[in-house]
Chain A
Amino acid sequence: MVHRSPFHDRVAAANETSLWSHWSGHLVVEKYQMAEKWEYVAIRNAAGAFDSSPLYKYRVAGPDAERFLGGVLTRDIRTCAPGQAHYTIWCDERGHVNEDGVVFRHSADEFLLTAAEPNLAYFRDLIGHERVEITEVTDEIGTLAIQGPRSHAILSRLAPAVSALGYFEHTPAKLGASAVTISRTGYTGDLGYEVLCDAPDAGAVWDAIFEAGAPHGLIPFGQIALLMARIEAGLLLIHVDFDASRLAENDEHRSTPVELGLSWMLKGVDDDSRPFIGRRAIRRELADGTSRWKMMGLMVDPFDYDAKYTAAGMAPPKDHIPVHEDMMVYDGDARRVGYATSFMYSPVLQRHIALARIRPELAVPGARVNLEFTINHRYVQVAADVVRNPMFAPARKTAAMNGAES
């Protein structure tokens, strides 16, 4: 039987739609309310809560934990101090990305790594002579993400320590009688936090947060709203924007960090004290300029979009539900120069947007390309601007919250 998250009782009571789906063997909510857009608005305007407990979680501990992760993760783990967290990836020896995740450092020799897919065997097999132990703790931890402009006001009243948290920092805290970890992380690109608790405490943690949050407009949100927010935030989704190299069928389905727009993780790649899997191939790729793509944002020209639909006798649809299918990108000479992997109408940006791989020479902000739509059962190209990711990045996402009132 499909597994239930530690928050399941509360989630089930709040789910007004009875729309469920499955994620990593867990029962999860598509949308709690009939209007998924209302849940999305809460993330951008008030606060929303998302149960992300199904993410795989691994405890990585031991005197050589840092050295082990340093050899596996693409981003330099040595720059992640205790109390900090890193969004990171791990590659294969050909420099192709396997997966991504967030690693929390609790102490000099203890880490917690989250991943979208099972990775226990993969990581364990990579242990050589390092003194490190990897334990799966997925079911032991409940994770509730509190995201949105009011998230700080809600959580700081319960746990004042969150006010001192910088972006991607975490702290131990108490919510009522429950010991929790609160991190300033999330998958929405907004001001937000994630609360990690012991699974048995999940109900009490949910109740405490909702009691404090309801007057601020806190509501739970489901997968649809989450997947809307993450496109605006430029955050990648496995199986949609990329595939794990180790499970891919061919190189068309593999990507390098540079191709995924993650070059910023490669700081210190030339430093020989940082030997990680894939480093040699990545350095060669950088030196030879062999990257095939670069992940960029696309913003569709609203005038061209409306004109093409109006000319076809249709009202231009502005559908916020994410489309996770390839859409072709062409240059002015009708040559294919890329493809979009995630597409939506963004209410907060008032534009249709996409995450797209673009040929490197056109992957510059301000470049004009054409995105292919199907209008009246025919392929029609609509102009779009190439832009940097993230397309939505409010100042509050990373702003200091010390002394902030809300």
Chain B
Amino acid sequence: MTSEFDAIVIGGGHNGLVNGAYLARAGLRTLILERRELVGGAAITEELRPGFKFTTFSYALSLLRPDIVHELDLVRHGFMPLLMPSSFCPMDNGDSLVMGQDRGENIREIARHSQRDADAYDQYRHDVEMVVRAVKPLFDKAPPNLTDLSPEGLAEMADLAAHLRGVDTGVLHNLVRLLTGSAADFLDDYFESEILKGWLSSSGIIGTKVGPMSQGSGLVLLFHSMGEHDGHFGSWAFHKGGNGGFTQVLARAAEAFGAEIKLRAEVERVITANGRATGVALADGTELAAKVVVSAADPRRTFTTFVDPRELPADLVDNLRRYRYQGTSSKVNFALDGLPAYPSLGDRADMFRGFTNVAPSMEYLERAFDEAKYGWYSTKPYIDAAIQSTIDPDMAPPGQHVMSCFVHYTPYELKGGDWAKEREHMADNVQNTLESHFPGFSDLVLQREIVTPLDIEQVAGLPEGNIFHGEFLAPQMYFFRPAPGWNQYRTPIEGYYQCGSGTHPGGCVSGGPGKLASQRILADLTR
């Protein structure tokens, strides 16, 4: 075995690329291994039809940490987030809620649905933003390790306590309400309008098997508010060329710092000797040595596929067995021959420049969840759609469009059915729902790509198709992500680290886990 690398990163998804870029930037000879023929993991763009670019899985630049943009010099490598200036919520009665960039206009639009809510909207945004700002320093820092009673470990706990003591009591209370309660309870305090609550509560269910009325949906709502685009909290952007465009930028940055990226290099196992990682073995038999091995994969693969779980502490293995994936999200992506029409808005098209949120009420979402609770996919699904070619003309030929549809709920495990048989019918539910809001929609469809949780698992490698490498449930966040005692990117095997979305702060294209893991690795190396 030759040892030409200081560090090997398993997985060229966004966190693996971020981690590898930071390690290379610190001077480590770094190799990033990607199983597939392209980097990006679940953040890729594929031209499935000439001129039509599909964001197969992840579809927006949601929670990317702004520091990473600067520290990795991403602008130089083509980083280009594009404003999504509107949010469009169609309603069952043909009316709609269209939110834009002008505060006064937004207030008037909400007032059409509820005068009271129009006034409450600013207060809601302010209150959530204050919570986001209080949480941000914790989000962007490795959490303390509850089992670490060393002076350093206790100091980390003391820092956390000091930070929380500095937070305004009202803000702290809102934080706890969001972390422990339901999105519905939180939103009911402010609003009465069904369409407004349908829209706002949608971010409380994304990627997670909860309904807006479930305890825990508040946490998911807060998590999705942690995004930051050009100084606006909770604001999402679209990267030029889709998220595949973004991961290509990351790859160029990593290579510019000296990292090497090897494609079609599937890792079979991490090689260990005397409780220490010494390298990796590829599926083709190649063995590569390195002082540090980092897994950007999810906890299941990190701890039970790449290494022998019998080498790990029993409590960790137990906790990982309990760690919940249960993916419930699908994608149905369309190539369209033109823009859909929404009858009550006439020939307006500006509302398509952001997300189209098909969730006419919280109850609609909760009923969609009910079917998933009992093991089936929603008859009337929640759809978070984006006609990305209206934002970036490079996504489709002139005059034609691509439409990405994120779909809830579609449980990985179907009770008495399987996805091979149900996939087309699930996509039909999506298309029919769109047709009901946009008459003539189906006539525009040139092509349809269906991505079920099973496809997410088989193609992107995410177990049970969970887009976050494990659910956003309080027992598997912060101190406990992915397991108590192992929330600081280390593993029980010395020299073997984790940097995927199964570590703090979690999923979404944030880069946070990749960056924070690199800090842990570099600190350990200088010990």
Is A302 touching B101 in the complex (CB atoms < 8 A)? no
Q: Which of A73-81, A190-198, A259-267, A346-354 contacts B (4 or more CB under 8 A)?
A: A346-354
**Which residues of A in the span 183-233 have a Cβ within 8 Å of any Cβ on B?**
215-217
Q: Which of A35-43, A285-293, A326-334 contacts B (4 or more CB under 8 A)?
A: A35-43
B279 CB to closest chain A CB (Å) equals 36
B98 CB to closest chain A CB (Å) equals 11
Is B105 touching A34 in the complex (CB atoms < 8 A)? yes
Is B80 touching A348 in the complex (CB atoms < 8 A)? yes
- Chain B positions 339 through 380: 1 when the CB is less than 8 Å from some CB of chain A, otherwise 0: 000000000001001000000000000000000000000000
**Which residues of A in the span 32-52 have a Cβ within 8 Å of any Cβ on B?**
33-35, 37-38, 41, 44-46
A351 vs B79: C-alpha distance in the bound complex, in angstroms? Answer: 13
- Chain A positions 309 through 324: 1 when the CB is less than 8 Å from some CB of chain B, otherwise 0: 0000001111110000
Q: Which of B62-70, B300-308, B432-440 contacts A (4 or more CB under 8 A)?
A: B62-70
**Which residues of B in the span 59-97 have a Cβ within 8 Å of any Cβ on A?**
66-67, 69-70, 75, 79-83, 85
Is A215 touching B399 in the complex (CB atoms < 8 A)? yes
Are A46 and B85 also in contact (CB < 8 A) when A35-B101, A315-B133, A349-B75 are?
Answer: no
Is A41 touching B398 in the complex (CB atoms < 8 A)? no
- Closest-by-CB residue of A relative to B70 is A302
A189 CB to closest chain B CB (Å) equals 15
Residues of chain A within 8 A of B353, CB atoms compared: 38
A217 vs B353: C-alpha distance in the bound complex, in angstroms? Answer: 11
- Closest-by-CB residue of B relative to A306 is B66
- Chain B positions 101 through 117: 1 when the CB is less than 8 Å from some CB of chain A, otherwise 0: 11001000000000000
Is A150 touching B393 in the complex (CB atoms < 8 A)? yes
User: Is B240 among interface residues, defined by CB-CB distance under 8 A?
Assistant: yes
Residues of chain B within 8 A of A316, CB atoms compared: 231
User: Is B6 among interface residues, defined by CB-CB distance under 8 A?
Assistant: no
- Chain B positions 144 through 160: 1 when the CB is less than 8 Å from some CB of chain A, otherwise 0: 00000000000000000
Is B101 touching A34 in the complex (CB atoms < 8 A)? yes
A319 vs B85: C-alpha distance in the bound complex, in angstroms? Answer: 15
**Which residues of B in the span 133-149 have a Cβ within 8 Å of any Cβ on A?**
133
Is B83 touching A37 in the complex (CB atoms < 8 A)? yes
Other-chain contact of A350, B69, B83, B393, B398 (Cβ < 8 Å): B69
User: Is B129 among interface residues, defined by CB-CB distance under 8 A?
Assistant: yes
Is B85 touching A216 in the complex (CB atoms < 8 A)? no
- Closest-by-CB residue of A relative to B137 is A310
Is B231 touching A34 in the complex (CB atoms < 8 A)? no
A216 vs B401: C-alpha distance in the bound complex, in angstroms? Answer: 11
Residues of chain A within 8 A of B231, CB atoms compared: 315-319, 345
Residues of chain B within 8 A of A348, CB atoms compared: 75, 80
User: Is B100 among interface residues, defined by CB-CB distance under 8 A?
Assistant: yes
B438 CB to closest chain A CB (Å) equals 20
Q: Which one of A37, A41, A46, A215 has the highest number of Cβ atoms from chain B below 10 Å of its Cβ?
A: A41
Is B233 touching A315 in the complex (CB atoms < 8 A)? yes
Residues of chain B within 8 A of A303, CB atoms compared: 67, 70
- Closest-by-CB residue of A relative to B74 is A350
User: Is B392 among interface residues, defined by CB-CB distance under 8 A?
Assistant: yes
A222 CB to closest chain B CB (Å) equals 14
B398 CB to closest chain A CB (Å) equals 3
Is A320 touching B230 in the complex (CB atoms < 8 A)? yes
Is A37 touching B240 in the complex (CB atoms < 8 A)? no
A215 vs B70: C-alpha distance in the bound complex, in angstroms? Answer: 34
Residues of chain B within 8 A of A33, CB atoms compared: 350
Q: Which one of B82, B101, B232, B350 has the highest number of Cβ atoms from chain A below 10 Å of its Cβ?
A: B82
Is A45 touching B240 in the complex (CB atoms < 8 A)? yes
A351 vs B353: C-alpha distance in the bound complex, in angstroms? Answer: 24
A351 vs B82: C-alpha distance in the bound complex, in angstroms? Answer: 15
A302 vs B66: C-alpha distance in the bound complex, in angstroms? Answer: 9
Is B83 touching A38 in the complex (CB atoms < 8 A)? yes
Residues of chain A within 8 A of B399, CB atoms compared: 215
- Closest-by-CB residue of A relative to B397 is A215
Is A46 touching B393 in the complex (CB atoms < 8 A)? yes
A257 CB to closest chain B CB (Å) equals 30
A217 vs B352: C-alpha distance in the bound complex, in angstroms? Answer: 13
Is A34 touching B102 in the complex (CB atoms < 8 A)? yes
Residues of chain A within 8 A of B102, CB atoms compared: 34-35
Is B230 touching A347 in the complex (CB atoms < 8 A)? yes
A318 vs B66: C-alpha distance in the bound complex, in angstroms? Answer: 12
Is B66 touching A41 in the complex (CB atoms < 8 A)? no
A117 CB to closest chain B CB (Å) equals 33
Is A45 touching B398 in the complex (CB atoms < 8 A)? no
A58 vs B398: C-alpha distance in the bound complex, in angstroms? Answer: 38
Is A35 touching B83 in the complex (CB atoms < 8 A)? yes
A144 CB to closest chain B CB (Å) equals 20
Is A350 touching B79 in the complex (CB atoms < 8 A)? yes
- Closest-by-CB residue of B relative to A217 is B393
Residues of chain A within 8 A of B129, CB atoms compared: 315
Are A38 and B80 also in contact (CB < 8 A) when A45-B392, A215-B398 are?
Answer: no
A276 CB to closest chain B CB (Å) equals 39
- Closest-by-CB residue of B relative to A47 is B393
Q: Which one of A215, A319, A345 has the highest number of Cβ atoms from chain B below 10 Å of its Cβ?
A: A215
Residues of chain B within 8 A of A345, CB atoms compared: 230-231
A350 vs B76: C-alpha distance in the bound complex, in angstroms? Answer: 11
Is B70 touching A216 in the complex (CB atoms < 8 A)? no
A35 vs B230: C-alpha distance in the bound complex, in angstroms? Answer: 14
A220 CB to closest chain B CB (Å) equals 13
A316 vs B136: C-alpha distance in the bound complex, in angstroms? Answer: 13
Is A38 touching B75 in the complex (CB atoms < 8 A)? no
Are A35 and B100 also in contact (CB < 8 A) when A46-B393, A216-B393, A315-B233 are?
Answer: yes
- Chain A positions 372 through 395: 1 when the CB is less than 8 Å from some CB of chain B, otherwise 0: 000000000000000000000000
Other-chain contact of A216, B105, B133, B233, B398 (Cβ < 8 Å): B398
A37 vs B100: C-alpha distance in the bound complex, in angstroms? Answer: 12
A190 CB to closest chain B CB (Å) equals 13
A320 vs B85: C-alpha distance in the bound complex, in angstroms? Answer: 14
Other-chain contact of B85, A35, A347, A349 (Cβ < 8 Å): A35
B336 CB to closest chain A CB (Å) equals 13
A347 vs B229: C-alpha distance in the bound complex, in angstroms? Answer: 9
Residues of chain B within 8 A of A351, CB atoms compared: 70, 75
Is B100 touching A34 in the complex (CB atoms < 8 A)? yes
B397 CB to closest chain A CB (Å) equals 8
**Which residues of A in the span 338-378 have a Cβ within 8 Å of any Cβ on B?**
345, 347-351
Residues of chain A within 8 A of B392, CB atoms compared: 45-46
Residues of chain B within 8 A of A46, CB atoms compared: 392-393
Residues of chain B within 8 A of A150, CB atoms compared: 393
Q: Which one of A44, A216, A315 has the highest number of Cβ atoms from chain B below 10 Å of its Cβ?
A: A315
Is A350 touching B70 in the complex (CB atoms < 8 A)? yes
A216 vs B102: C-alpha distance in the bound complex, in angstroms? Answer: 25
B61 CB to closest chain A CB (Å) equals 12
Residues of chain B within 8 A of A215, CB atoms compared: 393, 398-399
- Chain A positions 147 through 158: 1 when the CB is less than 8 Å from some CB of chain B, otherwise 0: 000100000000
Other-chain contact of A38, B69, B85, B230, B233 (Cβ < 8 Å): B85
Are A350 and B101 also in contact (CB < 8 A) when A38-B83, A46-B393, A150-B393 are?
Answer: no
A19 CB to closest chain B CB (Å) equals 11
Residues of chain B within 8 A of A319, CB atoms compared: 231
B199 CB to closest chain A CB (Å) equals 19
Extra pairs beyond A34-B101, A35-B85 (11, CB < 8 Å): A34-B100, A34-B102, A35-B100, A37-B83, A45-B82, A216-B393, A303-B67, A303-B70, A315-B231, A317-B231, A351-B70
Pull 16 A–B residue pairs with CB atoms less than 8 Å apart, ordered by A.
Answer: A35-B100, A35-B101, A37-B83, A37-B101, A38-B83, A38-B101, A41-B83, A45-B82, A45-B393, A215-B393, A302-B66, A303-B70, A315-B133, A345-B230, A348-B80, A350-B81
Q: Chain A interface (Cβ within 8 Å of chain B)?
A: 33-35, 37-38, 41, 44-46, 150, 215-217, 302-303, 315-320, 345, 347-351
Query: Top 10 A-B pairs ranked by shortest CB distance?
Result: A318-B231, A215-B398, A35-B101, A34-B102, A215-B399, A217-B393, A35-B85, A38-B85, A318-B230, A46-B393
